[in-house]
Amino acid sequence: MSEWWRGAVIYQIYPRSFQDTDGDGVGDLPGITRRLDHVARLGADAVWLSPVFPSPMEDMGYDVSDYCGIDPIFGSLDDFDAMLERAHGLGLKVMLDQVLSHSSSAHVWFRESRSSRDDPKADWYVWANGLPDGTPPTNWLSLFGGPAWEWDTQRRQYYLHHFLRSQPDLNYHNPEVQDAMLDSMRFWLERGVDGFRLDTANFYFHDEKLRDDPADPALLGVDWAKPYDAQYHFFSKTRPENIQFLERMRALMDEYGDRALLGEIVEGKRSTSIMADYTRGDGRLHMAYSFEMLGPAFSAAHIRSRVAGFFDEAPDGWPVWAFSNHDVTRHASRWSHQGDVARLAATLLLTLPGSVCLYQGEELGQTQTDLEFHELTDPEGRQFWPVMKGRDGCRTPMVWDGSASHGGFTEGEPWLPVKPPQAARSVASQEGEPGSVLEHYRAMLALRRSRPELRHGGIHFLEAPEPVLAFVRRKGEEATLCIFNMSAEARPVQVIGAVDLAEPAGAVLEGDELHLEPNGFALMRPTQRDVRVVAD
C-alpha cells in the first residue's frame, strides 16, 4: 500500500460555504466539483468534506438523520459520485466527515428507541433513570451549555446528549450499534471514498456505572466561560472501550486497501496523550488531530512541547496538525496580535512532521467575519453570546472574486454574509501575484512535496531562546533547517552549520548572520550534523 496519508496535506471543505450553483445561497456538491481544480492546483493530496448527509441542520449537518444518503440541499448521490470521480481524476483523495458518536433526534433509530423500553432499538441510545429526587443521573455537562441529559416524557427516562438536545448519543456498549455504524461506513467505502474524518472520536463510549465527572483541579477558581470546561471528563468520554471499537473500524478499512481514518480528539490538556494512544501501532487510527494548535497559544515553547510531546508518547503514531477549521476563530485573526502571521503560519504548519489539514480560505489569509447576533445560525454562538460568538465567523462563504456579488460564491442570498474585509481576500486578487498568501501556500506545498524530509522525515528541535523556534527535518542524507521568529519584532540570529537560504523566505542572510523579519522565517540546508542557532 502507498500509505498516501503519511505526510499528506488534507484540504477541508465546508460544503455550505464553498460554492453554490443553484442560487439558493447554500454551497452544494456540484459547486465542489466545479472548484476542485483550485484545490488540486494548490497542491493538496486530499479533501475532507464536512457532513453532507440528510439532516435537520440544527447543527449544520453534525446532526445526521440518515448515514447513507445526501441531503437535498447539497444535491444527490449522483452528484456525489460525479464529485468523487472528478476528484480522483485530479489525483485528490476524498474523505467524508463521519459523525458517529450521536445522531439527530429525527433519525428513525431514535424515534423507535424513545417509543418504548421494549422496542428492538430501545438500547441503541444512552437512556437512564433519574436520581430519586428527579434530577439527571449524573453531573455530566453538554458542550453547548446545561446538563448533558434531557428528560423524555414518552419514555420517562433521561437520554444523554453531549451537544444539542436534538443530538442524542448512541450507545456503543450495544454491539448492534457498532455493527450498524460500521455498515454505514462500508456503504461509502463501496462507493469509493478514500477515508473518514471521525468527528469527536473519543466520545463513543460512556461509563456504564454512570459515575460523576470530577472537577478539574487545574480550573478551580478559574472564571470559565462554559461550565463544561470546569470538569475533568473522565467518565463521560474517552473510555477504555473506545480503543476496541477503533480497532474494529481499522479492520474494516484494511479490507479496502489504502484507506485512512483521521480522528478528531476533543479533550483539553490530555489531547496530545490521547492522539498518541489512538494512533499507536498498526491497529487503531491512521492519524489524529486535536485542538492543541487551534487555540490562542502562539509561541515557540508551545509548538515544541506539543510536537515533541506527541512523538515522546507514540514514536510510531501519526499526528495531524491544523491551525484553523470550522470550529475555531481563523488563525489569521486569532493570532493577529502578533501582526500578519499568514505566511509564517503556512511555512510552520507545512514543515511540521506528520500530516496537515488546511481549512478553506486559509490559503488566502482569510480572517474571521465579525457577525451581528441576528446574523448567527450557530446554536453555540446564540447560547453564549456575546462572550463567545460561536463558529459562524469562520464559516462564511469562500471568496473567489471580491469584485463579484457575494464574492462569487452565489447568485442568490448567501446563508452567511460575505463582508468587505473578507471580500478583500479573494482567489482572483491573489492569483499569480508574487508574494500573495495564495502563491506562498502553493510554493510551500510544492516545496513540501519535493523534499522527502519535510513529508516523511523526523524532527530534531534546536536550542533557541523564545521567540525563536528552530528545528531540523531529516530523512537519510536529506535535511532542512527551519527557523521561525514567533514575534512581531525583527530578530537577528547566528546560524552555524547551514547555508543556502531557500525561497520562500522571510529573512535576510549575511554570512552566518540571519536577520529574521517580524514573523519571519528561513528554510536552510545544513552543511553539517551539528547545526546551531545562536540568538543575541
Which residues are annotated as catalytic?
Answer: 199, 255
Closest CA to 195 of 16, 71, 357: 357
- 2 burial class (0-12, 13-18, 19+ CB within 10 angstroms)? exposed
Amino acid (one-letter) located at 289: Y
Cβ atoms 375, 366 nearer than 8 A: no
Is residue 387 exposed (0-12), middle (13-18) or buried (19+ Cβ within 10 Å)?
Answer: exposed
Burial of residue 190 (number of CB atoms within 10 Å: 0-12, 13-18, 19+)? exposed
Alpha-helix runs per DSSP H in 108-226: 108-115, 175-191
Bridge pairing between strands 46-49 and 93-98: parallel
Counted residue by residue, the chain has a size of 536
Three-state DSSP class for residue 301: helix
CA distances from 109 to 77, 94, 98, 125, 497 (A): 22, 28, 17, 9, 63
Q: Which residue has the cell 456575546?
A: 386
The three cell numbers of residue 265 are 480528539
β-pair type (195-198, 260-264)? parallel
Q: What is the DSSP letter of 168?
A: P
State CA 298 to chain mean position distance.
Answer: 18
DSSP state at residue 487? S
Helices and strands: H and E segment counts in the chain: 14, 20
Cβ pair 353, 454 in contact under 8 A: no
Q: Which residue has the cell 462554559?
A: 226
Helix (H) or strand (E) run with residue 333 in it: helix 331-334
Secondary structure (3-state) at 276: helix
Whether the Cβ atoms of residue 157 and residue 129 lie closer than 8 Å to each other: yes
